[in-house]
Chain A
């Protein structure tokens, strides 16, 4: 059956549980991805994801169809991630566990080593960005959100969005290439 978002949203707003479930199913991976990328830690990402889903359920009645539903959901996910980061900053730092660096894309055909390196590269590089840069990059590159939508989600001018995305990419490149060069050097030394 075709995914008719506007119909599902309307039904969900009238209390149709099945419709709401379909919407949550549809958006779950995107929401989790936002939280995972922005927060950088699976446990906290799960908390933010749960918070996002609950917020969607509780507030869907107040969603206005003049806005895009996806924009509304991503905004909630972004804010939940920021809340989680702020909460986290008030809590004692947790240990860096294996789970936090475990490759999630197990279906990928790349070697485990490559996956680990890539996942680490991206995660570490993302986490090195200031959060306002990280968010725009995730919204743009992961969700394909337009500059205008990002501007709407974050309530900043489009020019700022454009500038932040460019700076974020520049920093990502520096981080990742820097790390790769380091890894390459280590490997060359180990290989003799």
Chain B
């Protein structure tokens, strides 16, 4: 019997065992003693594989309890509780204001090393008290090498809930000892951030032109980074930053700049008290797609690698949105934009995206809270 025939028979036998054959095929198998002998052998193996393997009952009870405790778990360490909901609501109802401005009230740019074995010289550490500006999105431009943002866990615990006697429009986050080690960088930010906040701002997600001073990252060859795979993990606990679930990824074209929007869904009962977790953007960086390699489409020569600490999902017109883990490759494009977004999936609560853009494009990034989003705005090349 040649290999092809043997394989076909085996596929038929396998389908027969699963009841996935036609009447004709069934008759053929049952009339052939050799095939039936094979059926019985495979059936015996299938039954062995099919035995449910019970776990230790103590482990079972304990694991179920741990999982159930997640129902009532306090706010994850990665989120900033917000107390001044009133002022935030009043802000939202103002016509013409955009969601990004809320981020100014809540986003505190602290960076802690997201890259365990990365080059510390490129790790941004900041600790600020930011005043609310209702005209202000927190526009965070990518520095020449890498942009990182995170929330410090221990200090957040201390800062929540906010003292109502404080200025309702400010958030204080203390600097940790660990963070102080990067004081040079902090100083830069202490000067830089308030200055930015005082500048007239464009309305995010509108067609207002971003001022050129806000677009600080340029994908020039000199800025190419040679470093290892990006990993936003900063702890061994894979759920530490899994408070957010990927909800949508899209490109919204605009007259002056296009927006790549990664929209998340808060899994807390109190989503308004949360902001998206750490993210990192690396210009022309390396990226991992599970254990597999991936070659970018030839038309993409300049890109940024975006890593977001959140849980993944997939979406389709038919099935709608489903949480999902592991390697997925989905490409996002729209006719009116030259951007190409590629979503690679969730590995260990780390979402990886590549955003292909025209060479030397200027861009900036920021987060909004409601809905939780990470937004990369890419200026149109003139």
Instruction: Show the binding face of A for B, using Cβ within 8 Å.
Output: 15, 17, 20-21, 24-25, 28-30, 32-33, 36-37, 46, 49-51, 53-59, 61-62, 64, 66-67, 72, 75-76, 79-80, 82-83, 86-87, 89, 104-105, 118, 121-122, 125-126, 137-138, 140-142, 144, 147, 155, 162-163, 165-167, 169-170, 172-173, 176-177
Contact = CB atoms under 8 A, between A and B. Distances in A.
Contacts of A79: 324-326
A30 B52 contact: yes
B326 A83 contact: yes
B54 A76 contact: no
Given A54-B70, A147-B20, A46 B53 contact: no
A58 B50 contact: no
26 contacts: A15-B71, A21-B64, A28-B64, A30-B52, A32-B55, A49-B63, A50-B63, A53-B67, A54-B67, A55-B325, A57-B68, A64-B322, A76-B323, A79-B324, A79-B326, A87-B348, A89-B291, A105-B53, A105-B54, A118-B48, A122-B48, A140-B46, A141-B47, A167-B10, A169-B45, A173-B41
A163 B52 contact: no
Contacts of A141: 46-47, 49-50
Interface of B is mostly: mixed
Contacts of A32: 53-55, 60
B11 A166 contact: yes
Given A82-B325, A105-B53, A165-B14, A20 B46 contact: no
A41 to B, nearest CB: 12
Given A21-B64, A50-B63, A62-B265, A29 B45 contact: no
Contacts of B46: 140-141, 169
Given A50-B66, A62-B321, A144-B50, 13 more contacts: A54-B66, A55-B311, A55-B323, A62-B265, A67-B322, A82-B325, A83-B325, A83-B348, A105-B54, A138-B49, A142-B52, A169-B17, A173-B45
Contact of B18 (A28, A46, A66, A165): A165
A88 to B, nearest CB: 11
A67 B325 CA distance: 18
A53 to B, nearest CB: 4
Interface of A is mostly: helix
B290 A86 contact: yes
B321 A50 contact: no
Contacts of A58: 70, 242, 267, 311
Interface of B: 7, 10-11, 13-15, 17-18, 20, 41-42, 45-55, 59-60, 63-64, 66-68, 70-72, 238-239, 242, 245, 265, 267, 290-291, 311, 314, 319-326, 347-348
A53 B63 contact: yes
Best-surrounded residue of B41, B54, B59, B348 (most CB of chain A within 10 A): B54
A137 B18 contact: no
Contacts of B49: 37, 122, 126, 137-138, 141-142, 172
Contacts of B70: 54, 57-58
B14 A162 contact: yes
Contacts of B55: 28-29, 32, 36, 46, 49, 104
A161 to B, nearest CB: 10
B20 A142 contact: no
Nearest to A89: B291
Nearest to B72: A17
Nearest to B324: A79
Contact of B267 (A59, A72, A137): A59
Contacts of B7: 166, 170
Contacts of B322: 64, 67, 72, 75
A50 B67 contact: yes
A116 B310 CA distance: 42
Contacts of B53: 29, 32-33, 36-37, 104-105
